[in-house]
Amino acid sequence: MKHLWIVMVIALFIVVGCTSNLENGSEKDAIKELVENQTGDYSVHVFSNVTLDENFQKKVNEKINEINNQFLKEDGITNVSFIDTRDKEKYDYDKILKLDSYPQILLFQKEEVIFRTSNPDDLYQYFKDMNS
């Protein structure tokens, strides 16, 4: 009976340890996938839980073009994506990236989120402040 108890405790530790590794792995995998096409230092990802208005998407793209032309001439933002968080088939971005409002624009430098906003003008202002 004592041996059975020991085996059950060890099995419990193995299951708990593997589960936490899977959660951490999926977070790393999600971020790695977001930045995999990043050719420079930065990438931008816009998360929403509704279909984004075409004007909003256009404004994001315009601000990124302005940022590239004014502040990042040699190494611009080339990886931009719009992600619907309702599709949890692959990753739960709400949980992984702690998204609490929408739309949410995240600026990544390499594999780290360095800025988040819901306003494309704020993204532009971030680079303007950084370069002044």
**Distance, CA of 38 to CA of 20 (rounded, Å):** 28
How far lies 131's CA from each of 7, 67, 70, 72, 126, in Å?
60, 11, 10, 10, 9
pLDDT score, position 14: 52
Q: What is the pTM of this model?
A: 0.79
Q: Work out the average pLDDT over 54-62.
A: 97
35-39, 53-57, 122-126: the lowest-pLDDT one: 35-39
Domain 2-130 has CATH 3.40.30.10: yes
- Helix (H/G/I), strand (E/B), else coil: 75: coil
Q: What percent of the chain has pLDDT over 90?
A: 67
Whether the pLDDT of residue 15 is over 70: the answer is no
pLDDT number for residue 18? 43
Q: How do residues 89-122 score in pLDDT, each as one tens digit?
A: 789 999 999 999 999 999 999 999 999 999 999 9
**Nearest Cα residue to 63 out of 6, 118, 100:** 118
What's the confidence (pLDDT) of residue 132? 87
Domain spans in the chain, listed from the N-terminal domain onward: 2-130
